[in-house]
């Protein structure tokens, strides 16, 4: 085509070529197609997971995106031409007829919007909002935490053990929320792939491939099912190929992150005379801050003793275990709480409801040293009621649990008044898995101990 010839022969900019050919068309000199001037050019390496978002969106949308061949990080992205498109020198960058675009989600949005009424953006305003919601969640809650775990092990940023521990905990919390949503949804929004799934799939892809082993992801079965469903879609496989999950966590890299070079030339330094170093006493490592619950006055109730009694009582449970609980219970050192799920009308499917409660108990693992709980799923058919009884160290629900376990906000919490015989009997029935409970059969009862 003539446009390719002009670009190759005289290095004319894309916008100049468009304007030139539009002028020729208007005055009738040139009557051929000018569509090739509209080509979209993606600047990124072949293995860049952020670039795959736009390429997969293009496959779904029927939009042609050309990837720059032989793009080399540290070289191609340092040229004046590239820096003019993105001053930070980061990839990917999409070159369009109207100017360059950087930031991968913005590029994917642009490619998607090129197709009118694209189903990748849903069929209603609320679909659009939910798609944007999950794209933001994917960036801030999933991708960011995977990066904080992965990049230090690749040697890209310094490795700090407490930071890694916090990153993994934050990632588990995010995947737990995602797992709960996917328990009753095949895709993030609606009943087919949307741009939210493309972005989430690409962000999970790097985690599954590089650092999230089967033993890690098995805690989130609905996320696993979702991920393998997404990456095996034909339009995904065309871009990313076959995906294999990491078999082990990457070892910590011995490579130190490279310091940024200053643009100023370094002055020659005169050799310094070595001075004797003053002897400084090394500070002892600071002890890890204790959980506030460990600083409470000792309690006559030993939680592990109660848990053993509960687990080992096989017969005459009411007389042995339940009576034993009230004999041990210390209202000065512990508090007892009823919880009722706020959205029981949504619990229409039995296995989804059971998974919801199971996920809650998994996320409560950080409280195992300080808590005991019983969760009852009540009813013979949906909607099922979810109710619980929880014993916590201290005279209130621990703040770190309220802060870290997002499910806590999904329940109404009421402290048990042990001086009220009716409430005390209700608590006893929940410990015992009494059936029927409040006149209804039990679908299941789960214990946290």
User: Domain residue spans in the chain?
Assistant: 2-113, 137-240, 294-448
Instruction: State residue 365's pLDDT score.
Output: 87
Positions in the chain short of pLDDT 50 = 1-15, 17, 21-23, 25-26, 29-37, 260-266, 280
**Which two structure tokens, joined as six digits, stand for 379?**
């009813």
Cross-strand pairs, 375? 388, 446
DSSP letter string, 119-130? GGG-SSHHHHHH
pLDDT at res. 287:
62
Q: Is 339 exposed, middle or buried (0-12, 13-18, 19+ CB in 10 A)?
A: buried
CATH class of residue range 137-240: mainly alpha
DSSP per position, 31-91: -S--GGGG-EEEES-TT-HHHHHHHHHHHHHT--EEEPTT--TTTGGGSHHHHHH-TT--S
Structure tokens at 381: 């058919």
Please spell the DSSP secondary structure of 405-422, one letter per residue.
Answer: -GGGGGEEEEE--TTSHH
pLDDT of residue 24: 53
Phi and psi at 112, nearest 5°, equal -65, -40
CA gap 226, 222 in Å, rounded: 6
By the 10 Å C-beta count (0-12 exposed, 13-18 middle, 19+ buried), 41 is classed as middle
Report the chain's C-alpha Rg in angstroms: 30
At 216 the pLDDT is 94
CB atoms within 10 A of CB 241: 9
Domain pair 137-240 / 294-448, same fold: no
**DSSP letter for each residue of 202-215:** HHHHHHHHHT--HH
The two structure tokens encoding residue 415: 């402290």
CA neighbor of 63 nearest in space, from 111, 116, 122, 121: 111
CATH for 2-113 (3.40.50.880, 3.20.20.70, 3.40.30.10, 3.40.640.10)? 3.40.30.10
- Dihedral of the alpha carbons of 218, 223, 228, 229, in degrees to the nearest 10: 140
Q: What is the pLDDT of residue 12?
A: 44
pLDDT of residue 14: 45
Q: How many CB atoms lie within 10 A of CB 123?
A: 13
- Tell me, yes or no, if the pTM score tops 0.85: no
**Burial class for 135, CB neighbours closer than 10 Å (0-12, 13-18, 19+):** buried
Q: Is 249 helix (H, G, I), strand (E, B) or coil?
A: coil
What pLDDT was estimated at residue 305? 94
| Domain 294-448 belongs in CATH node 3.30.70.260 | no
Instruction: Write the CB contacts of 444 (distance below 8 Å, at least 6 apart in sequence).
Output: 354, 357, 376, 377
CA-based nearest residue to 162, from 148, 181, 180: 148
φ, ψ of residue 399 in degrees (nearest 5): -60, -40
Strand runs (DSSP E) across 212-357, as ranges?
Answer: 334-341
Strand arrangement of the beta sheet that strand 411-415 belongs to: 411-415, 334-341, 385-393, 371-378, 442-448
The pLDDT tens digits of the residues spanning 103-148 come to 999 999 999 999 999 999 999 999 999 999 999 999 999 999 999 9
Identify the residue whose tokens are 């490619």.
111
Helices (H), 183-259: 195-210, 214-217, 221-231, 234-240
Tokens of 253: 């890299």
CA dist 398 and 431 (Å) reads 21
Check: CB of residue 391 under 8 Å from CB of residue 336. yes
Residues of the chain above pLDDT 90, percent: 65
């Amino acid at each position: 085509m003539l446009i390719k010839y002009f670009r190759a022969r005289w290095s004319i900019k894309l916008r100049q070529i468009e304007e030139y050919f539009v002028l020729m068309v208007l005055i009738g000199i040139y009557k051929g197609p000018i569509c090739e001037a509209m080509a979209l050019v993606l600047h990124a390496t072949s293995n860049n997971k952020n670039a795959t978002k736009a390429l997969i969106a293009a496959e779904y949308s029927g939009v042609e995106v050309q990837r720059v061949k032989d793009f080399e990080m540290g070289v191609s992205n340092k040229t004046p031409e590239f820096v003019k498109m993105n001053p930070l020198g980061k990839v990917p960058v999409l070159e369009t007829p109207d100017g360059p675009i950087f930031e991968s989600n913005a590029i994917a949005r642009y490619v998607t919007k090129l197709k009118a009424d694209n189903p990748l953006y849903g069929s209603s305003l609320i679909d659009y909002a939910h798609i944007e919601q999950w794209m933001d969640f994917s960036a801030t809650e999933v991708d960011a935490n995977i990066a904080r775990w992965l990049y230090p092990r690749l040697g890209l940023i310094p490795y700090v053990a407490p930071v890694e521990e916090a990153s993994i905990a934050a990632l588990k919390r995010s995947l737990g929320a995602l797992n709960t949503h996917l328990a009753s949804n095949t895709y993030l929004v609606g009943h087919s792939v949307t741009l939210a799934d493309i972005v989430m799939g690409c962000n999970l892809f790097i985690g599954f491939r590089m650092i999230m082993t089967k033993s890690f992801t098995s805690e989130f079965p609905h996320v696993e099912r979702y991920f393998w469903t997404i990456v095996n879609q034909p339009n995904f496989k065309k871009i990313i190929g076959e995906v294999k999950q990491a078999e082990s966590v990457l070892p910590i890299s011995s490579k130190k992150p490279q310091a940024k070079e200053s643009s100023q030339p370094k002055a020659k330094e005169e050799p310094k005379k070595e001075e004797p170093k003053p002897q400084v006493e090394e500070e002892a490592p600071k002890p890890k801050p204790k959980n506030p619950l460990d600083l409470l006055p000792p309690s006559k109730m030993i939680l592990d003793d109660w848990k053993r009694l509960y687990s080992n009582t096989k017969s005459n449970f009411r007389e042995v275990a339940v009576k034993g609980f009230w004999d041990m219970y210390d209202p000065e050192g512990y508090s007892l709480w009823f919880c009722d799920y706020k959205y029981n009308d949504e619990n229409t499917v039995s296995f989804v409801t059971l998974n919801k409660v199971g996920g809650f108990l998994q996320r409560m693992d950080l409280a195992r040293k300080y808590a005991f709980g019983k969760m009852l799923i009540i009813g013979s058919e949906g909607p099922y009621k979810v109710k619980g009884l929880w014993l916590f160290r201290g005279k209130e629900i621990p703040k770190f649990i309220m802060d870290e376990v997002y499910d806590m906000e999904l329940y109404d919490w009421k402290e048990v008044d042990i001086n009220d015989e009716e409430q005390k009997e209700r608590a006893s029935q929940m410990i015992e898995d009494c059936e029927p409970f409040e006149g209804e059969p039990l679908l299941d009862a789960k214990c946290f101990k």
